[in-house]
Amino acid sequence: MSGTPSDLRTVTIARLGARADGIADEQGGHSFVAGALPGEVVEITGSGEQARLERIVTPSPDRVAPVCPLFGRCGGCATQHLGAETYAGWKHGLVLQALARAGITNEVRPLVDGHGTGRRRVTLHGRRRDNESLAGFMRARSHDLIEVDHCPILKPELARAPAIAQALTRALAASAKPLTILITATLNGLDVDVRGNGPPSEKQRIGLTSLAHQLDLVRLSVHGDTIIARADASQSMGRAIVNIPPGGFLQPTVEGEEVLGRLAVEAVAGARRVADLFAGSGPFALRLAEAAEVHACESDAASLAALDRAARATPGLRRITIETRDLFRRPLLEMELKPFDAVILDPPRAGAEAQAGQLARSVVPRIAYVSCDIASFVRDAGTLLRGGYTLDQVTPVDQFRYSHHVELVGVFSKPVARKKR
């Protein structure tokens, strides 16, 4: 139940929660107050997760002016009001606390900034409302749409993204379906993949082809089906240039990918043969192949094909073999892991539970685990530790600035006697 003026009360915020809500300890439970900071005295209505900030009585010295006028209404950012030093400490603490709750007491390195010049891809939503076409982000804690004309956390190349989303929503208005519009800044221009419309009609394809020219898009796809490709939607990965498939996975920032790649490559330095699991289009494999042979496993065949083409076109790389494989259902087994001196894995948010189980039984000396979800990392780390590995290093990386998301690279080792093969 939401708050009413009759339950207005004054509370003190004790700490910042995992989703950047200020937490007030009250009789009978906790209230989670979006927009409030530790140490602040605030007036709120409602309680629990329905608490609402009404007024700041005593602001925190850590409070800063948000960089976006939509902060607090747009659901994309949670911490623009928090000073940089406290923000970094909070994200670092999220990793420490999650490890500690699992009984893992490793030291955690300082947070590494992976935001750089901004995110190179953005997801906008398109809707029809009252015979109007609207495009923007979701409101905070809501499924309602808030229109935007600018987002300060994006790369400058994506300044046109809201206008492009608006134009595509108008072009597909006849379907009256809610759209999800993924726009990516590539080396050659903007790449767009539209979801939600369903397969386009021939008339829609003709209209979208014309619109792609008008909007100067590199490529326009609907549900991964390319309508028009005017140039390659290329990204650099190490020395290689990769033409990413429509809607294919990509690290959110250029700098973040470089940081994660550097940490992962350093973790397995000296290895002669490396397995790259959940390899995507090759952000790690193509860097690893500068010094080692690589076997790349990934369930998405289009991404692996892009990796293979890039590897063949890049001189000076060691051999990269590819395997289309669903590692959730068919993880590399203990026996299959024997030839490898090291493993890098970069699973989605669900983690790599089945693969971690096989790795725990393996004799692979080193593992670099790149994670975008602390909870699944902690679960899989526990499996590896019970299998005889030690967690040597944990480095948090901040690609999603102003959000509660934090990525990390965990480095594991197992001092085992390798059998002759």
Same domain, 108 and 215: no
User: Where in the sequence numbering do the catalytic residues fall?
Assistant: 372
Helices vs. strands in the chain: H and E counts, helices first: 9, 23
Q: Phi and psi dihedrals of 411, rounded to 5?
A: -110, 125
In terms of domains, do 162 and 202 share one? yes
- Per-residue confidence (pLDDT) for residue 1, from 0 to 100: 40
Same-domain pairing of 264 and 377: yes
Residue 84 lies in a domain: no
Domain assignment present for 76? no
70 within some domain: no
Query: Would residue 300 count as lying in a domain?
Result: yes
What pLDDT, on a 0 to 100 scale, did the predictor assign at position 28?
Answer: 83
Residue 323 domain flag: yes
Same-domain check for residues 373 and 321? yes
E runs forming strands in 365-416: 366-371, 390-398, 407-413
**Entry pTM:** 0.94
CATH number of the domain bearing residue 223: 2.40.50.1070
Task: Say if 401 falls within a structural domain.
Answer: yes
309 with 406, same domain? Answer: yes
In a domain, 71, yes or no: no
- CATH number of the domain at 294, please: 3.40.50.150
- Radius of gyration for the chain, computed over Cα atoms and rounded to the nearest angstrom: 23
List Cα–Cα distances, 347 to 285, 299, 314, 361, in angstroms. Answer: 14, 11, 26, 19
Q: Tell me the backbone φ, ψ of residue 112, rounded to 5 degrees.
A: -100, 130
| Containing structural domain, residue 399 | 89-115+251-413
CATH of the domain at 58: 2.40.50.140
96 and 196 share a domain? no
pLDDT for the residue numbered 140:
81
Note whether 406 and 258 are same-domain residues.
yes
Q: Are residues 266 and 329 in the same domain?
A: yes
Q: Kindly list the distances between the CA atom of residue 11 and the CA atoms of 20, 39, 209, in Å, as whole numbers in the listed order.
A: 17, 10, 56
On whether both 230 and 379 belong to a single domain, the answer is: no
Token pair for residue 16? Answer: 């910042």
Q: From residue 362, how far is each of 36, 187, 273, 297, 384 by CA, in Å?
A: 47, 40, 15, 17, 10
- Does 341 share its domain with 283? yes
What is the tally of structural domains in the chain? 3
Whether 79 maps to a domain, the answer reads: no
Classify the phi-psi angles of 116: left when phi > 0, otherwise alpha if psi is within -120 to 50, otherwise beta: left
**pLDDT digit string (tens) for the chain, length 421 residues:** 445 666 899 999 999 999 999 999 998 899 999 999 999 999 999 999 899 999 999 999 999 999 999 999 999 999 999 999 999 999 999 999 999 999 998 899 999 999 999 999 999 999 988 788 889 999 887 888 999 999 999 999 999 999 999 999 999 988 788 999 999 999 999 999 999 988 999 999 999 999 999 999 999 999 999 999 999 999 999 999 999 999 999 999 999 999 999 999 999 999 999 999 999 999 999 999 999 999 999 999 999 999 999 999 999 999 999 999 999 999 999 999 999 999 999 999 999 999 999 999 999 999 999 999 999 999 999 999 999 999 999 999 999 999 999 999 999 999 876 555 4
186 and 332 share one domain: no
Q: Is 39 exposed, middle or buried (0-12, 13-18, 19+ CB in 10 A)?
A: middle
Q: What is the dihedral of CA 225, 231, 237, 240, to 10 degrees?
A: 120
**332 with 313, same domain?**
yes
